[in-house]
Structure 1
Amino acid sequence: MKLMWKYTMKNKKLLFCNLICVLGFILIELGLPTLLAWMIDIGIPNNDRSYVIKMGIWMLAIIVVGVTLNICLGYVTSRITSNVTADIRDDLYEKIQTYSHREYETIGVSSLITRVTNDAYQIMLFLQNVLRLGFTTPLMFGTSLYLVMRTNRTLGWYVLGALPFLLIGVIAIAYYSEPISKKQQKNLDKINAILRENLSGLRVVRAFVNEDFESKRFEKVNKKYADTSTRLFSLMALAQPAFFVLFNTVMVFIIWQGSLQIDAGSLKLGDLVAFIEYIFHALFSFMLFATVFMMYPRAAVSANRIQEALDAEPMIKDNKDGVKDTDKKGYVTFDDVTFAYPGPSETPVIRNVSFDAKPGETIAFIGSTGSGKSTLIQLIPRFFDVSQGAVYVDDVNVRDFNIEALRHKIGFIPQKALLFKGTIADNLRFGKEDATIDDMKKATDIAQASEFISQLPEGFDSPISEGGSNLSGGQRQRLAIARAIIRRPEIYIFDDSFSALDYETDKKLRASLKEVTQDSTVLIVAQRVGTIMDADRIVVLNEGDVVGIGSHHELLKTCPIYHDIAASQLSEEELAK
C-alpha cells in the first residue's frame, strides 16, 4: 500500500477534487430517502399538492447534481489512476535502464515485462475502485448506519447483527486469495517467457518442425494460469451471492417487524421507506467496500513485485560525480585483470590479463570459443566490473568515470547486430542524434552499406522491422558498424562484428576504417585470422589466459595456439608470407 500511496499523493489537487465529489455524492444519495419520507408522511396525508411538487422538484434537482458529481468523480478518478500508472511505469523503466546483466538474469526479462505492463495495470484497477468506492463506501456506510439507528433503533439491531457475518466472509476471502494471486502472477511470467522465447526463435522452431512441442509447452503453462485464475475468480465470486442472501434475509425481518410497528402506530410508512433505503445504502456500501478490500491482496502482490524491481540494487553503480572529461583521448589499459561472472561457482572467465592500447593502434583478440574474448572487451564500457585488477580509459579507472561520459567515448558494435523498429535513418541517429544526411552517407560508405541502401526505394527512410528482421545478417551488421562510426568515438570496439561479411566486403570495410580511425583506438574480437592479421598487436586467449601477444608474423613463430588457428584458416602460401 505504501507504493500506491506514494504515487497517489503526487496528485494532491485531484485527490482534493475527488474528496469533494465523494462528500457531495453521499449527501445527495442519503438526502433523497429523507425527502421521500417527508413527501409520504407530510405531503400525501395532508393532501398538500404544492408540498409534494416542491419535494419532487428538490429531488429532481438533487438527482441532476448527483449525476454531475458522479461524472466528475469518474473523470477525476481516471485522471489520478492514469497518472499513477504512467508514473510507476516511467520510474520502473528508468530503473531497469540502470540494471546490469546480473539483475536481468536474477529477475528475468519476461518477469520485468509483466511488472511494467500487467502488475501496473492491476494497481490501476485497484486504485480506480479505491478512489471511487474506497472513499465513498466507508462514509456512506457510517452515515447510513447513523441514520438507521436514529430512525428506528429496534430495527437497526437487525442490521448490526448481520455485519459480523459479512466481516468474517470478507477477511476469509482476502486471506485465501493472496497466495493464489502470487501464483497467478508467476504463471503469467512463465507465459510471457515462453511466448517471448518462441516468437524470437520462430525460425528455429519451424526448422526443426517443433510447432506441436512448443504448442504443448505453452498449453501446459497457460492451463496452469487458467486454473489459478479460475480458483481466484471463483473465490471472489462467492462474495456477491452470499451478500444478497444475507441482505434479503435482513430485509425480510425489517419489513416484517416494520409492518408490525406501523400497525401498532409506533412507526410511520415514510420512515419505513426511508429506513429501507438507509439499510440498502449501508449494506450495499459495506459490500462494495468489501469488494475493494478483497481486491487488495492481488494489488498488493503486484505492488510488491514492482517495489522489488525498484529496490533492486544494480551491481554496476553509476558514479554520478565521476570523471566526465579527460585530457587524454583513446587510451585503454588492462592491469592484471581477472573476472568471474557472479554466481555460485564464480570461476574466473579471464585471468591476469594485462595490455595497453593507444590512439592509432588496432588491437585484436582471437581464441577458441569460450576463451573470454567478448567478456574481456565488455569490461571497458562497464557492462561488467572486474573481479580483480583494474581497467583504465585515458589513465582513469573506469569505475571512477561517470558511466554516461565513459560510454560516450566508445563506439560498441556487439556480436549480434541489433536494429530497432523505425527507419534506417532512425537507427543511424541512435549513434548520433543530430546526424545529417551527409553524416549518414559518409558512415554508410565506410561501412560498405551505401550500395544496398541506394537500391531501396526510400533510401535512408526505408522502414526496418523489429530487430531488423527484414534485412540480411550482413546488412544488419554493416548498419550496426555505421551506427558506431557516425558518432566518431575515441575507442572503437568490434565484437566479432565482421562475421556475417564476405571476405571482399570485410577487406574493403577495414581499409575504409583506417581513414577514420587514425586518431582512435580500435579493438577487434574476431574468429577469422584474415580479419585481424593486419592489426598492430594480436592478443591470443585460451581458456581465459593470455597465451600470446604480438603481430601476426611474430605469433606464427612464438605462439603454437595462434599458429594452429591460422593454419586451419589460411593456405600454406598465406602462412609463408
Structure 2
Amino acid sequence: MIKKLLPFLGEYKKATILTPVMVVFEVILELMIPLLMAQIVDYGIQGEGGMRYTIQMGLLMILMAVVALVFGALSGKYAAEAGMGFAKNIRSGLFEKIQGYSFANVDKFSTASLVTRLTTDVTNTQNAFMMIIRMAIRAPIMLVGATIMAVSINPRLSMIFLISIPVLSLTLFFIGKNAHPRFLAMLEKYDGLNEKVQDFIVNIRVVKAFVREDHEETRFLESAEQVRDAQLNAEKLVILTMPIMQLTIYASVVAILWFGGNMVIDGTFNIGQMSSFIMYIMQVLISLMMISMIFIMIIISRASFSRIIEGLEEKSTLDDDGADADLKLQDGSIVFNDVSFSYTNDPNNVVLRNINLSIQSGETIGIIGGTGSSKTTLVQLIPRLYDVLTGEVLVGGHNVKEYALKTLRDDVAMVLQNNVLFSGTIKDNLKWGNEAATDEEVIQAAKAAQAHDFIESFPKGYDTDLGQGGVNVSGGQKQRLTIARALLKNPKVVILDDSTSAVDTATDAKIRAVFRETFSEVTTLIIAQRISSISDADRIIVLDDGQVKGFDTHENLMETSDIYREIYQSQSKGVSIDG
C-alpha cells in the first residue's frame, strides 16, 4: 500500500537511501563487538593473550562502539529528514488534490475528514515511514546476523530461540489481520470529533449568543467518548503483542541460561563464548521486539495509508478533459436548455427540473422564490460548481463544459450567500479577486460596492487587519467587501447570492445604481429576499420547488404570477418572507 505513496519521496530520495546504508554499517559493527568480547575473555584474560591483548581488543571495542554510534546518529538524522520531507510532500499533494475537488467531492468526504487526513493520517504515515526505513532495516539484519553468529557458536543451544520465532510470527499475523478494521473505525470517530470542534470554533459567537456552551460541551464529550471507546477496541487487541513477546523472550533467556550454564559447568562451553552467545541472543530478542513495534505501527498506520490514498485517488466529478484551453468567453449571455439537477445524481430526486432560460449579455436578472426553491443551486451551475444531470448550460454561447474551469470562473464572479473573508488586511482580501490589481483599481471597486467610505473610517484604511474570518467588520460591511472583491475580477457575469441582505435599503439602491451605470455590459444575476432589491431588474425569475414559475419584468409578473404577487403583497404589509 505504501508503494503508492513512494512518488512523494521526491527530493528526499537521497536521505531515504542513506538511512538504511547507515543502519547496515551500524549493525555490522554491533555484531562484531560480542566476538571481540569472547576473544578478550577466552584468549586475553583466561588464555595466552594477557593484559596487552586485552587492552588492545578493549580499545578496538570502544572504537567500534563509537563508530557505530556515529552511524546510528547519521541514520537518525537522515530518517528524520526523509520522513518529514515525505510527509510534507504528501500533505502538499493531498492538499493540491483537494483543491481540485468539486463541491460534490467535498460533500462526500466532509471537511472534518479531509482535515484529519491532512493532519493525523499524514503524521501516522510519517512515523511509519521513518520506522520502516530505519528500524525495519535494522531489525531483520540484526536478527539474521545475530542468529547466524549464535548458531555458529552453539547450534544446539540456538534451537531454543529458533522455536520461538514461528510462535511470534503466527501471533503477529493474527493480531494484524483483526486490528486493521478497528483502527479504521477509530479514525472515522476522529473525523466526527474534528467536526464537532470545527462547528464550535467557527460558530462560537452563535454558541455564546444563545448561551449553549453546556450543550456544545455535552456534544463534544459524547464524541470524545466515542473516540475513546474506538481506541480501546483497537488497542486492546494490539497490546497483546507486548506481553506475548515478553513472555517468549524471558522464557528463552531462562532456558538459555539454564542449559548454557550447565554446559559451562561441564566444560563443553567456554565462559567467553557463553557471554558472546548471550549478547547475540539479546540482539535477536531485541530485534524481535523491534519487529513487533514495527508491526504495531504499520497496523495503526495502515488505516491512515488507505485514507490518504483514497483522497489522492478520488476523481473530481468536474474535470477539464473535454475543455478547450484556448476558448474564452465572448460575452455574458447565459442559456439553460432543459436543465435538471440532482445532488445525488438520482433522476428521481432532482432539485431543479426542466429549466429553460435565455439571458442576454448585459442584462440584470433578479431571482426570487421561497426557501428551498433552489435559487442558489440554479446559479451555481453557471460557474460549473456542479454539473447538470440532464440538459446543458451555455455561457457566452458555449457549453460550460467546453471551457477550462479557471477560464470560466475567472469570468463568472460569484458573491456567495455566506460572506467569506480571510485573515489579513482589507486590501489583501480584495485582491483575491485580482492579485495584479493596482491600488486605484482596488479603491474603484470598493467605491462601486459602497465600501470605500467605511474602509477609510478605519485608522489604517485599506491596511486594516480583518482578523480571522473578518471578525472586525459587521455583516453589511462583509457583504460590501465581498462584492468589491468580485468586481475586481472584471468579470462578464456577476452573481450576487443574497449579497445585500445585511445592508440598508439606501446602500442597496446605491449598489444597484452603480451596477446599472458602471457595469452595464456585465450580466448581473441578483438573488434577493426583498422584491425592492430586484424590482428594477430587466427581468425577474420566479422559482418554486425547483421550477421556473415566471420570467418577466416586475410589472408583467405582478399581473401574471400569483407567487410573485403574493410575495410582493406580503412584503408591502411588512411581513418577513424567507428567501
| Aligned twin of 1:19 | 20
C-alpha contact 2:37 2:272 (8 A) present in aligned 1: yes
What does 1:9-408 correspond to in 2, within 5 Å?
10=10, 11-45=12-46, 46=48, 48-319=50-321, 321-326=323-328, 328-342=330-344, 346-408=348-410
Larger deviation, residues 98-107 vs 376-385:
98-107
Deviations 1:75-97 (CA, angstroms, capped at 9, x unpaired): 11111111221122112112212
Q: 1:359, CA displacement in angstroms?
A: 3.1
Residue 172 of structure 2 aligns with an amino acid whose one-letter code is: V
SS class of match (1:161): helix
Residue 315 of structure 2 aligns with an amino acid whose one-letter code is: E
Q: 1:492, CA displacement in angstroms?
A: 0.9
Deviations 1:36-86 (CA, angstroms, capped at 9, x unpaired): 111111222235222222112211211221111111111111111112211
Distance verdict in 2 for CA 1:288–1:571, change over 3 Å: closer
Q: 1:571, CA displacement in angstroms?
A: 7.6
| Aligned twin of 1:536 | 538
Q: 1:5, CA displacement in angstroms?
A: 5.2
- In structure 2, distance between residues paired with 1:364 and 1:383: 20
- In structure 2, distance between residues paired with 1:469 and 1:390: 40
C-alpha contact 1:4 1:123 (8 A) present in aligned 2: no
Distance verdict in 2 for CA 1:511–1:299, change over 3 Å: same
Larger deviation, residues 408-417 vs 433-442:
433-442
Q: 1:144, CA displacement in angstroms?
A: 0.6
- In structure 2, distance between residues paired with 1:437 and 1:311: 42
- In structure 1, distance between residues paired with 2:571 and 2:121: 53
Deviations 1:262-287 (CA, angstroms, capped at 9, x unpaired): 23332221111111111011111011
- In structure 2, distance between residues paired with 1:205 and 1:116: 27
Q: 1:357, CA displacement in angstroms?
A: 2.5
C-alpha contact 1:364 1:539 (8 A) present in aligned 2: yes
Residue 42 of structure 1 aligns with an amino acid whose one-letter code is: Y
1:499 aligns with 2:501: yes
SS class of match (1:466): coil
Larger deviation, residues 20-29 vs 49-58:
49-58
Aligned length: 572
Listed as ranges, the gaps of 5+ residues in structure 1 are: 573-577
What does 1:452-471 correspond to in 2, within 5 Å?
452-471=454-473
- In structure 2, distance between residues paired with 1:35 and 1:296: 36
Distance verdict in 2 for CA 1:450–1:59, change over 3 Å: same
SS class of match (2:365): strand
Residue 114 of structure 2 aligns with an amino acid whose one-letter code is: L
Distance verdict in 2 for CA 1:50–1:143, change over 3 Å: same
Distance verdict in 2 for CA 1:509–1:215, change over 3 Å: same
- In structure 2, distance between residues paired with 1:323 and 1:72: 49
Deviations 1:376-427 (CA, angstroms, capped at 9, x unpaired): 1111001111222211111110011111111111111011111112221111
Residue 42 of structure 2 aligns with an amino acid whose one-letter code is: D
- In structure 2, distance between residues paired with 1:259 and 1:141: 23
SS class of match (2:422): coil
SS class of match (2:499): coil
Residue 466 of structure 2 aligns with an amino acid whose one-letter code is: I
SS class of match (1:266): coil
Q: 1:442, CA displacement in angstroms?
A: 1.0
Residue 309 of structure 1 aligns with an amino acid whose one-letter code is: G
Residue 28 of structure 1 aligns with an amino acid whose one-letter code is: L
Residue 22 of structure 2 aligns with an amino acid whose one-letter code is: C
- In structure 2, distance between residues paired with 1:320 and 1:151: 70
Q: 1:365, CA displacement in angstroms?
A: 1.2
C-alpha contact 2:125 2:305 (8 A) present in aligned 1: yes
C-alpha contact 1:474 1:500 (8 A) present in aligned 2: yes
1:545 aligns with 2:547: yes
SS class of match (1:135): helix
Q: 1:234, CA displacement in angstroms?
A: 4.2
| Aligned twin of 1:575 | none
Deviations 1:303-332 (CA, angstroms, capped at 9, x unpaired): 111222222222222337425433722222
Residue 430 of structure 1 aligns with an amino acid whose one-letter code is: W
Distance verdict in 2 for CA 1:33–1:491, change over 3 Å: same
1:6 aligns with 2:6: yes
- In structure 1, distance between residues paired with 2:253 and 2:391: 79
Larger deviation, residues 200-209 vs 139-148:
200-209
Listed as ranges, the gaps of 5+ residues in structure 2 are: 575-579
Larger deviation, residues 55-64 vs 334-343:
334-343
| Aligned twin of 1:422 | 424
SS class of match (1:188): helix
Larger deviation, residues 518-527 vs 398-407:
518-527
Residue 149 of structure 2 aligns with an amino acid whose one-letter code is: L
TM-score (normalizing by structure 1) = 0.94
Identity %: 34
| Aligned twin of 1:489 | 491
C-alpha contact 2:341 2:388 (8 A) present in aligned 1: yes
| Aligned twin of 1:475 | 477
C-alpha contact 1:43 1:51 (8 A) present in aligned 2: yes
Deviations 1:485-509 (CA, angstroms, capped at 9, x unpaired): 1121111111111111100111111
- In structure 2, distance between residues paired with 1:51 and 1:538: 102
Deviations 1:98-118 (CA, angstroms, capped at 9, x unpaired): 222222222222111111111
| Aligned twin of 1:432 | 434
- In structure 2, distance between residues paired with 1:263 and 1:545: 97
- In structure 2, distance between residues paired with 1:22 and 1:294: 21
- In structure 1, distance between residues paired with 2:169 and 2:391: 63
Q: CA RMSD in A?
A: 2.1
- In structure 1, distance between residues paired with 2:530 and 2:503: 11
TM-score (normalizing by structure 2) = 0.94
C-alpha contact 2:179 2:299 (8 A) present in aligned 1: yes
| Aligned twin of 2:577 | none
Residue 17 of structure 2 aligns with an amino acid whose one-letter code is: F
